[in-house]
Structure formats: structure tokens, C-alpha cells
């Protein structure tokens, strides 16, 4: 088998999810930062796609004087972030196994996923993201009709209708985000590491979350907070936040689903 193709464990060997503690989360963050320091080039390269993409999207909205619609995009941004981590999972997998690192081998392994289940998972994530943007527009329309929102009328968000819209939008978005997180937090590293279909991967991910509801909720909040902080300074903070959480997510996956002997 070529150096760009990882050895995958068959689906039949998937173990039951392990129980973890908050101590495991901080340990995984430490290991993630350690992996980033060992191979910083890959973290910077994979993060660059999202940093530049975020800048371009904001520039487009700014050019059309519609920066306010960038808010739901930014809120939904964490939905897409795991795909920046796919290459980072491969880097951590190689560091863990003592395999050689190289741009050709790492990018080759990521590119090889096109023939497996990752594209199906990508389509699912993209549909969820697009549905969230549509839903955000719909919620606004339900409270304000066809009334346009402009820079001079942003104060409408602090009216009775505006505050109720924010409350409803936050509640609906929170439910969507929680379900999406439960289905995907373990799915992508699992799909990279083992031969399973994306439905099985999502079911397994959901089982990992329900086995450790409090700990995984803390992990979700930590990731969300980190990503939003990383996006504030023109997305530049993502150059550090994405690699750290990407590598850390690999180590968390390995603790939740111990690799079979």
C-alpha cells in the first residue's frame, strides 16, 4: 500500500465508546498543541484556506453593503471548520504511528479520501450549513417582513421584535448546533482512520457524545469559544486555533474509540 494511503481497521472492530473526563480534554489540547509545534507548516497551510475564505466572504458582503448578513455566516462557520482539520488528523495519525511526514504524502492521503466516505460527509455538512443560512434569513423575515436592514437601522435589533428574533434564532440555532455536533465530532477522524460508511460514523459519533454528555458539551463550548475568538482579528487567530483543535480532536477521537489491537 502506498505511503499516501493509511491502513484502515475494518468496521467490525469498532469498540464501544469509552468514558472520558475533563482531564482528558485538557490533555488532548496539550497533545494538539504539541503536534502543531512538531509540524507547524501543515497547520498553517490547512488553516490558510479558511482564513482566506473568511476574508473573501467578508469582503464580498462589505462591497455590497450587507455586512450584517455576515453574522449568520460567522455563526455557522464552526460547521465547516472540521474539514480544515481532515489534513491535521492525517498529520497527527502519522506522528502517532511514527510515519514519515511530507507534503506529498499528507496531501495525497487527504486527496485519496475522495474515493471513500468523506465526500458524502462533506455533502451532509454543506447542506446543513446552507440550511442554517436559509433559516437565519427566514427567521429575520418572520419578525421584520421584507423590511431591509441597513447600517442606520441596526437599532431595530434592540427593539421588542429584534430581541425576540435573537432569542428565537439562538434557541433554534442551539438545537441545530447540538445535534450537528453530536453527529460529526467523531465522524471525520473515524472516516479517515477506518473503513466505515458515513452513516455508521455519525451513529458512532452520537454514541460517543451520549456516553459522555457533560464532558462533550464542555468540549463543544471550548471549540465554539476558541473559534469565535480566532475569527475576531480578521480570522488571523484561526492560524493557531484551528490547528490546535484539529490535532486535539484526533487525540480525543483516539481516547473515545480505542484502536483495536
Q: Ranked by mean pLDDT, which of 1-10, 153-162, 174-183, 248-257 comes out on top? A: 248-257
3-state secondary structure the chain: CCCCCCCCEEHHHCCCCCCCCHHHHHHHHHHHHHHHHHCHHHHHHHHHHHHHHHHHHHHHHHHCCCHHHHHHHHHHHHHHHHHHHHHHHHHHHHHHHCCCCCHHHHHHHHHHHHHCCHHHHHHHHHHHHHHHHHHHHHHHHHHHCCCCCCHHHHHHHHCHHHHHHHHHHHHHHHHHHHHHHHHHCCHHHHHHHEECCHHHHHHHHHHHHHHCHHHHHHHHHHHHHHHHHHHCCCCCCHHHHHHHHHHHHHHHHHHHCCCCC
Q: Which pLDDT belongs to residue 261?
A: 46
Q: Is the dihedral of CA 189, 192, 195, 200 positive or negative?
A: positive
First to last CA, the chain: 20
Alpha helices in 185-212 (DSSP H): 187-193, 198-211
Segment 17-33, tens digit of pLDDT: 999 999 999 999 999 99
pLDDT confidence tier of residue 2, bands split at 50, 70 and 90: very low
Q: Which residue has the higher pLDDT, 261 or 232?
A: 232
At 71-83, the pLDDT tens digits run: 666 665 656 666 6
| The three three-digit cell numbers of residue 133, written as one number | 443560512
Q: What is the grid cell recorded at 46?
A: 490547512
Confirm if 56 and 72 have CB atoms less than 8 A apart. Answer: no
What pTM was computed for the model? Answer: 0.79
CA proximity to 91, closest of 32, 137, 143: 32
Alpha-carbon radius of gyration of the chain: 19
Amino acid at each position: 500500500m502506498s505511503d499516501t494511503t493509511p491502513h484502515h481497521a475494518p468496521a467490525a472492530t469498532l469498540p464501544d465508546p469509552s468514558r472520558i473526563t475533563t482531564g482528558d480534554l485538557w490533555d488532548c489540547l496539550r497533545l494538539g498543541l504539541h503536534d502543531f509545534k512538531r509540524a507547524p507548516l501543515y497547520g498553517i497551510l490547512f488553516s490558510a484556506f479558511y482564513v482566506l475564505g473568511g476574508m473573501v466572504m467578508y469582503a464580498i458582503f462589505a462591497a455590497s453593503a450587507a455586512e450584517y448578513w455576515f453574522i449568520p455566516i460567522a455563526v455557522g462557520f464552526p460547521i465547516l471548520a472540521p474539514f480544515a482539520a481532515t489534513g491535521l488528523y492525517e498529520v497527527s495519525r502519522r506522528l502517532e504511528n511514527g510515519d514519515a511526514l511530507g507534503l506529498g504524502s499528507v496531501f495525497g492521503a487527504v486527496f485519496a479520501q475522495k474515493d471513500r466516505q468523506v465526500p458524502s460527509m462533506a455533502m451532509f455538512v454543506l447542506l446543513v450549513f446552507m440550511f442554517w443560512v436559509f433559516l437565519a434569513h427566514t427567521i429575520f423575515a418572520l419578525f421584520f417582513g421584507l423590511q431591509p436592514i441597513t447600517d442606520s437601522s441596526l437599532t431595530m435589533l434592540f427593539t421588542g421584535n429584534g430581541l425576540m428574533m435573537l432569542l428565537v434564532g439562538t434557541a433554534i440555532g442551539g438545537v441545530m448546533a447540538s445535534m450537528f455536533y453530536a453527529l460529526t465530532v467523531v465522524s471525520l477522524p473515524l472516516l479517515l482512520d477506518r473503513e466505515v460508511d458515513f452513516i455508521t460514523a455519525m451513529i458512532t459519533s452520537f454514541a460517543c457524545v451520549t456516553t459522555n454528555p457533560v464532558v462533550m458539551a464542555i468540549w463543544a463550548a471550548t471549540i465554539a469559544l476558541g473559534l469565535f475568538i480566532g475569527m475576531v482579528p480578521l480570522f488571523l487567530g484561526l492560524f493557531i486555533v484551528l490547528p490546535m483543535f484539529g490535532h486535539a480532536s484526533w487525540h480525543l477521537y483516539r481516547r473515545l474509540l480505542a484502536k483495536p489491537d
